[in-house]
Structure formats: C-alpha cells, structure tokens
Amino acid sequence: MELTAIHPGVYLLYYFIMVLFAFIFSDPYFVISFLILILVLISLQGVSSELKNIMKFFIPLSLLIIILNPLLNRTGAHKIYLMQNFFVTYEAIAYGVLMSLALLIVILVFSSYNRSVSYQEMLYIFSKKLPIISMIIVMALRFIPLINSRAIEVQKLNNLKTNGIESNLNDDADNDNNVNINDGDNANDNANDNDNKLDLEEYDSNISSMDFNPDSRVLNKIKSSKRFQKIAKEAKVLGKIMGITVSWSLEESMFTAKSMKARGYNSNERTSYLSFKFGLADIIFLAIIFITVSIVVFGLIQGYGIINIYPSIDFSFSDLPLNIYYLAFIVFLLPLIYLEIRERMLWH
C-alpha cells in the first residue's frame, strides 16, 4: 500500500492478533471465512514468488497432515471402516483438515505481513528497545547474501580443480565419443578416472590402514568401501570450501569493523533515520481493532468460534453462525482489504 501511511506498530499488533486467531478458531465457518478473506487480501497485495515457493512446499505437507493424522490418531466417536478391521475416525480427519488450514492461514498472514511492513520498519519498532539486536539483524542481512556469493565463487573454483579438463580438439569427426566438458556425466567420469592420481587424502587413508589394529578392522573395512570414501571426500571438499569462505569473510569483516568504527559507531547513543507519525488513520485502525477484538474475545469466552473435536465432533454445517461475534470477526479482517480496494480505485 502506498497511499495510506499506517504506523508499523499498528500493523504489528494487527498481524499478531491475526496469527493468534488463526490458532484459536476451529469453527469451520470462522476458519473458512478467515481463509477466504486472507486470500483476497493477498491477491490484492500481489502474490510474490516467495509465496509460490512456500506453497510448493506447503501443499504436500498439508496433504501429509491430512492423511497421517487419521492413520496415527484413532480417538473419536465416529468410526469409518475402510477395510474389515481398519478404520479411521471422522474426528481425526476433521482435525487434520482444520490443522492444515490453520497452518495455511498462518503462512498467508506472514506473507501478507511481509508485504505490508518492510523489515526496516519492523526494525524501527525494535531499535529503540533493542538497539544492539536490531543492528545485528541489519548487518546479518547484508552479510548473509555476501557470504553466500563468496561461497558460490569458491565452489566454482573447486569445480575446476576436481573435474580435470581433458578432451580432444582435433577429433571433430567422431563427435559423440568426444569427451566434452559440456556434458556433466562425462566430466564426472573424468573425475573418477583421475581418482588414482596422487592425493593427500589417500595418504591419510593408507596410513590408517597400515597400523594394524584388530578392533578397528571393521572400521577399516567401512573406511575402505568406495561409497564411504566418496562421501568422506565430498565432506572434505565441502569443509575446505567452507573454510576458505569463512576465513575470507572474516578477513573482510575486519575492514567492516574498522569502517564502522571510523564512522563513529559506539560514540553515542544510536538514533534512527526512520520516523513514523501516529496519524488519524492509525487511530481509526486501532479503534476498529480494539472494538472488534473485544467483541470476538467475548464471544470466544462464551464458546463461539470454537468447536470440540475430540472425543466427539459437535458441529454440523446447518448451524450458521449468524451472530454479532461472527460479524465482528469479519469486520476485524476487512480494514486492509478496504484500504487496498480504495487504493486501486484512487489509482484509476
């Protein structure tokens, strides 16, 4: 949202309550309306590529929950027999579905939160109370991509060392037999062929097999097996890559530290360049949150919005939740959707 300025603190409170609600409510009407409204909000905010990635991971996970829960959990009054002796319970299925829906809602809420509040704004909220931690987070956000890109460079170089380049330039005629670096498989074959070359790792293994020790015979046998050697070798290479990356990064970090010091870090109490004013929109937003949440919580205490699943499910789709508590719940979820829609109209 660009046309409305809302204080990040208000956002934080709002989304925090949403996450709580996602875990508390179990009435299918509440859960499904929650899901629909949050989907509407997300689609208005725009679907990010991260969300797509998360969903790729989430869909199999939720299926797993829905399938596994009835298989592992046999409590519940309504039994559904699939085979002679094998049954699942209606309650366990319902619980699995509701649980995966709750998880989905939480993921969507976080994704929407990322859209609404940039991490800088979030840090602004925390920087006053926890200045050191917020500074560390900022530095980590810079450092992690940096160390990642360095690791990629180191790894590239390592590829060159392990895959020897050998191929024939003049044998153009039999192109298919030509060992070509472009083919990943061939390159690997090359690497295997080169295995018998002199290598420090092999010295190590030779020495360990030389000193005879009956107890370690089994161990040696494992060690000498090809598979183990391959894994050990890979682990060593990985260790080396990590070692180079870390020592390189530490060396560079020295300059980062110097540059921080040179620019007066720690010479005074830190302030922030971000500033957010608490405006009329924030007050209205807070008022809506306060009123609706207090109604909803009042309803919750009386049992609206929650159903008992175990031992016996006490819900039927015919009990429509036509009451003020449901209405308040819907109103609680609407403000951001309203703001997004209004923004679209203003742009046109």
Partner 1 sequence: MALIEFDNFSFSYLNSDGTHSQEKSLKDINLEINYGDFVLLCGPSGCGKTTLLTNLKKELMPNGKREGSIKYNGVDIFNLDDLSSACDIGYLFQNPDSQIVTDTVIQEIAFPLENIGLPTEEIRNRISEIVAFFGINDILHKNVNELSGGQKQLVNLCSLLVLRPKVLLLDEPMSQLDPIASYEFLSIVRRLNEELSITVIMSEHKADSIFPFIDKAIFLKDGQIEFDNNAHDICQEVISDDVFENYLPAVTKIYNGLSNKYNSSPNGPFSNNENPLSKLNTPLSIREGRRCLNIIHDDLIKINEGRLKNTNSDSDNLFITNKKYHSNRISLKDKLPFSNGKNDLVKMNGIYFAYEKNNLILKNIDFKLSKGEFVSLVGGNGVGKSTFLQLLVGILKPIKGKVKYNKNLKIAYVHQNPMIHFSKDTVKEEFLESIISSNSFSADEFNKENYDDLLKLDGENFIQSKMLNDIKFKNIGYGFKELIDFFGIGDLVEKHPYDCSGGEQQKIVILKALLQNTDLLVLDEPTKGLDPISSKNLAEILNSLIDNGLTILMTSHDLDFVANNCRRCLMLFDKDLQIDDDPKVIFAENNFYTTFVNRMVKDYIPEAVTLDDVKAIWNI
Interface residues with partner 1 (CB under 8 A) are 120, 138-139, 141-142, 145-146, 149-150, 153-154, 156-157, 159-161, 163-170, 172, 178, 180-182, 184, 197-200, 203-204, 206-207, 240, 243-244, 247-248, 251-253, 255-256, 258-275
Q: Which CB atom, from 84 or from 266, has the smaller least distance to partner 1?
A: 266
Encoding tokens for residue 202? 């092999």
Q: How near is the Cβ of 247 to partner 1 at its closest, in Å? A: 7
**Looking at beta carbons only, is 168 or 312 nearer to partner 1?**
168
Please report how close the Cβ of residue 252 comes to partner 1 at its closest, in angstroms.
4
Nearer to partner 1 by C-beta: 32 or 257?
257
Q: Which of 65, 69, 88 is nearest to 78 (CA)?
A: 88
Nearest residue (CB) to partner 1, 183 versus 319: 183
- State in angstroms the smallest separation of the CB of 164 from partner 1: 8
Q: Which residue lies nearer to partner 1 by CB, 244 or 330?
A: 244
- Residue 98 or 125: the one with the smaller Cβ distance to partner 1 is 125
At its nearest, how many Å lie between partner 1 and the CB of residue 224?
Answer: 17
Q: Output the smallest distance, CB 228 to partner 1, in A.
A: 20
Q: How far is the CB of 135 from partner 1 (least distance, A)?
A: 9
Minimum distance from residue 5 beta carbon to partner 1 (Å): 15
Neighbour tally for 62: CB within 10 Å: 19
Q: Which is nearer to partner 1, 67 or 144 (CB)?
A: 144
> In this structure, what token pair is assigned to residue 82?
């699939």
How buried is 233 (Cβ within 10 angstroms: 0-12 exposed, 13-18 middle, 19+ buried)?
Answer: middle
Question: Of 346, 329, 252, which is closest to residue 38 (Cα–Cα)?
Answer: 329
